[in-house]
Structure 1
Amino acid sequence: MSEPIIARPVPDRAGIRVICNDRSGRNSREAEAIEQAMRVLGPDAELRHVKGRDIDTAARQAVRDGCDVVVAAGGDGTIMAVASALNGSGCALGVLPLGTFNFFARGYGIPEDPEAAAQVIAAGHRRPIDLGAVNGRLFLNNASIGVYPAILKERETVYRRWGRRRIAAHWSVLKTFWRFRRPLKVEIEVDGERRKFRTPLVFAARSAFQLEHFGLQGVDCIRNGGFSIFVAPDEGRMGLLSDAVRLAVRQMRLGEDFELICADRLTIHVKRQRQLVACDGEKFVMEAPLEFEMIRGAFEVIVPETANETAA
């Protein structure tokens, strides 16, 4: 006979737990940024420095400890790791942007200045957020297969040598495009219909801000509650380099440089049983097929009171 399930009350939530990626705060600028933010947040805020692989665990512990707000201090990858732990928890997400691009924070109008970002967290204005997921893993801005995970691998090497700068990130893109030679054969299934593609990149976007930043179409797909799926044509190495230039100058052409699919649920079938997937700048190996879906009202995020309701 199974043991009876004992209902336990949910603890009253109070306090702020700031989780900082150990990679952030190593240089004087980032260390000063964290110090400034903690002064604004006051004595109710507790700072935890953790290694990247332990961020999810630290965020889940903050939930169990009854924290009302869990702050992700770092880039989009750090925010994603914290967000994954908050899904359905009742905790709110605060953001202290310390990354290279900070697309998530910028999309919600969260300042990149540390004191201003901390003031937003202290003010506590919340709004619910819908997130994308691939095979159950949440992501904030984008998820992709193909050349982009290869770019992330190259970027890690470039960062170790030259530091975490935007120019280094752009260089890693060009370097990977020049070397990339293995397009994928995929089938994308939407509403029971399958389409076959040979492509170097399938990119599922959930950030309207990111698309606007690069002058890409598909913003309406996102603001209507779905994904913008970009499929690049197989044009070889020079085609990838040409696309990179067009992306940089915001002149990507629908139907020529990419195909756009709008959907709130889709399946990507690939030949390999295990596929490398990039989610918000982090790499994961996932079992095929890849199932994309929307998670409605995953949790609340703290944003400026004036944040546009269509932001993200």
Structure 2
Amino acid sequence: MSSSGSSNAPVSFAGPALGLRRPSPVAIIANRNSGTNERDLHALDRAIQVFGAKGARIYRWVPGCNIEDVVQRAIDDGARTIISGGGDGTAMAVAGAMVGRDCPFAALPLGTFNFFSRGLGFPEDPAEAAQAVLDGKPSTIRVGMVNGQVFLNNASIGIYPAILKQREQVYARYGRRRAMAMWSVARTFWRFQRPMRLTLTADDGEPITRRTPLVFVSRSAYQLDRLGLKGGDAIADDAFAVLIGRAETRLDLFRIALRLVTQTAQEGRDYEFLAPKELTVDVHRRRSLLAYDGEKKRVPSPFHFRLAEKPLTVLIPPERSAAA
């Protein structure tokens, strides 16, 4: 892959931080399409100042280009730690190329929600997070996969992917703020038409058929806890936490949304819960919108969920390492 700094190149890089001319042990892979506003640039600059004593090289990556090539180039350049600089979508992309490698991975929380880095215990302040990366200890985790696509927090079918699609339009008009993300949820619920009909097969069990607006497959105990939802124990047991929404009407969805906000959603009333290690979801339509860590694409059913065979080596902040 080209190493040109041209604006048309799929990958470019800035030299080691603070003018250092030796190989940089830290490589930050940043989404070139997301760091275009002053807030993003300032946050990344603050993190780089912390890495400055050891050197940090920034690799600008464009979604759609081969992230494996970018990661391999960073390692060939001497990087001993690979860091994603962005939100959960960027972390997911880089982590997908890091599964099975000995080199540790960390995620700077430079996005909107940053569930993955926050779930590992990293602070949201960029400079503090960068220092926690330098002080961190390696550990291994299991990540989820759906039809070969790695995901760190969750993957889902149904209304949540539609929310992401609406969120992009809201962000484009009003900016990337959490309040705008909540507004996109309300707009999507208002336009809700009817639930999906699908068949689920968990592990080696019997298939079950459901009508639901949402199948939510989680690998983030932190995110579930923030929403007051069941599933942390299943994730600790190297399984998925699967929530199947119970809503037939738009009013049902608004009720569930209110209970999620107030952390009062209940299993049985608002959702059905499964804890499989493997799951197949067959949607009774030609193509469905699949969401994974904030990204989305329309693909044909069925959807096969499983854990990646090889682990992901991540850096854990010192406080979390001591607690573990």
Greater alpha carbon shift after TM alignment, 112-121 vs 70-79: 112-121
Distance 2:163 2:321 in 1: 32
Query: Shift in Å at residue 271 of structure 1?
Result: 2.2
Matched length: 299
* 1:67 corresponds to 2:79: yes
Of 16, 35, 40, 1:30 maps to 40
* 1:46 corresponds to 2:57: yes
Counterpart AA for 1:35: D
Query: Shift in Å at residue 122 of structure 1?
Result: 1.8
Query: Shift in Å at residue 90 of structure 1?
Result: 2.3
Query: Shift in Å at residue 27 of structure 1?
Result: 2.5
Distance 2:150 2:62 in 1: 20
Q: Which residue in 2 is equivalent to 1:262? A: 275
Query: Shift in Å at residue 299 of structure 1?
Result: 2.0
Distance 1:160 1:55 in 2: 26
Distance 1:287 1:217 in 2: 29
* 1:238 corresponds to 2:223: no
Query: Shift in Å at residue 181 of structure 1?
Result: 0.9
1:1-312 to 2 correspondences below 5 Å: 15-42=25-52, 43-54=54-65, 56=67, 57-63=69-75, 65=77, 67-190=79-202, 191-295=204-308, 297-307=310-320
Greater alpha carbon shift after TM alignment, 263-272 vs 202-211: 263-272
Greater alpha carbon shift after TM alignment, 44-53 vs 87-96: 44-53
Distance 1:174 1:195 in 2: 30
Q: Which residue in 1 is equivalent to 2:16? A: none
Residues 1:55 and 1:309: Cα distance change in structure 2 (over 3 Å): farther
Q: Which residue in 2 is equivalent to 1:3? A: none
Unaligned runs of 5+ in 2: 1-22
- 3-state DSSP of counterpart to 2:308: strand
Residue identity over aligned pairs, in percent, reads 43
Q: Is the 8 A contact 1:21 1:55 kept in 2?
A: no
Query: Shift in Å at residue 64 of structure 1?
Result: 5.1
Q: Is the 8 A contact 1:131 1:138 kept in 2?
A: yes
Residues 1:267 and 1:308: Cα distance change in structure 2 (over 3 Å): farther
Residues 1:297 and 1:123: Cα distance change in structure 2 (over 3 Å): farther
Query: Shift in Å at residue 186 of structure 1?
Result: 0.8
Q: Is the 8 A contact 1:273 1:287 kept in 2?
A: yes
Query: Shift in Å at residue 212 of structure 1?
Result: 0.7
Query: Shift in Å at residue 310 of structure 1?
Result: 9.0
* C-alpha distance after superposition, 1:103-162 (max 9, x if no partner): 111111111111111112222411111101111111000000000110000000000011
TM-score of the two chains, using structure 1 as the length reference: 0.90
Query: Shift in Å at residue 17 of structure 1?
Result: 1.3
Counterpart AA for 1:204: V
Counterpart AA for 1:58: V
- 3-state DSSP of counterpart to 1:54: coil
Unaligned runs of 5+ in 1: 1-12
TM-score of the two chains, using structure 2 as the length reference: 0.86
Distance 1:154 1:255 in 2: 29
